[in-house]
Amino acid sequence: MAIGKKYRWAILGAGHIAGKFAEGLAACPQAIRYAVASRQMEKAEAFRRQFGFERAYGSYEEMWADPDVGIVYVATPNHLHLEHTRRSLMAGKAVLCEKPFALHVADVREMVSLARAKKLFLMEALWSRFLPTIRRFKEEMMGGKYGKPLLLQAEFGFVAKYDENSRLFAPSLGGGAVYDIGIYPLFLALYLFGKPNSIEVVSVPAQTGTDMTTAILMKHANGEISMLTASFAMRLECDAKLYLSGGSLRLCRMFHMPTQLTSSLGEALPAEIEVETLSNGYNYEALEVMDCLDRGVTESDRWSHEMSIDLMELIDIVNQKAKEQFDR
């Protein structure tokens, strides 16, 4: 798989996020933009040309059969993540799979078990986890320098064009605001405070029965509270505010891909902190994969299988509570 310290990547599904990821990959010297696989050859070829890949495949099967593919980046809709990760692992490839990792925690457990059985690398593409600003945000919180963390308020919302057949709204494609964007505030709460002890949910459905707007209130082990919102119905501020006993920190819009954080923690920290982010940010998750492979490990300790399982478990609970309200 590796040529010296280089890795041959293949992209599975030539859609919107695949293009963004390809741009990020171009900023990683150890990544070879090797193959793109689409269900349509013309689309694969156009993507190959646009993003400078070596090979284009008009079916996913042909890409899986190529022994020179080292790492597969799964960029298909949510309902296909389980199947496409499974097929990639069965073909002997390392896998980076888009968020949400799958539709349910049982699916994630299955993916993780298979990767472990095959001794292959697997990671959820939770790119925000690897962004320098998010790392800095957590570092500033740690150690009690600014007091005790008390409250996280994080929100992600935009007005989504309603289309019952789109991946945002179609139940068959794993639609819903929580799966698509609520995952970011949920990730941040989990990353900062750990698993919650209690979860309250208020949710409003779209016409398709998937969630349109969902508010989540959680209490964590040390008494921290998270207040999280996801919506396809309104343009929210999309920032994240962390209140500590000694002040507050804010990840500015868009908090899941920030380059700036501000503080009201006094002189110890400047009010505005710029954190350098290289390329478009998707390069950091790709670098993590290749760094893990360089070290011969099959799991990242920065976004581990257990963290993905915890996140998916949370999403399952939130979606179940929302569904109970819709069914009433």
Residue 99 found at the interface with ligand NAP (CB under 6 A): yes
Nearer to ligand NAP, 128 or 263 (CB): 128
CA neighbor of 218 nearest in space, from 210, 228, 208: 228
39 sits near ligand NAP (criterion: CB under 6 A): yes
Cβ count within 10 A of residue 252: 17
Minimum Å gap between C-beta 181 and ligand NAP is: 9
> CA 44: distance to chain centroid?
24
Side chain identity, residue 67: P
Site for ligand NAP in 116-175 (CB under 6 A): 125, 127, 167
**The only residue of 7, 8, 10, 13 in contact with ligand NAP, by rule CB under 6 A:** 13
182 sits near ligand NAP (criterion: CB under 6 A): no
Torsion on CA atoms 188, 189, 195, 197, rounded to nearest 10? -160
For residue 254, cis peptide bond before it (omega within 30 degrees of 0): yes
Which residues, in sequence order, are CB contacts of 324 under 8 Å at separation 6+? none
Q: Which of 124, 180, 239, 288 binds ligand NAP (CB under 6 A)?
A: 180
CB of 146 to ligand NAP, least distance (A): 30
Binding mask 58-97 for ligand NAP (x = CB under 6 A): -----------------xxxx-x-----------------
List the Cα angle 306/308/313 in 5-degree steps. 95
Rounded to a whole number of angstroms, the CA Rg of the chain reads 20
**Residue nearest to ligand NAP according to CB distances in the complex:** 15
Q: Which is nearer to ligand NAP, 93 or 220 (CB)?
A: 93
Would you tell me which residues interact with ligand NAP (CB under 6 A)?
Answer: 13-18, 38-40, 43, 75-78, 80, 98-99, 125, 127, 167, 180
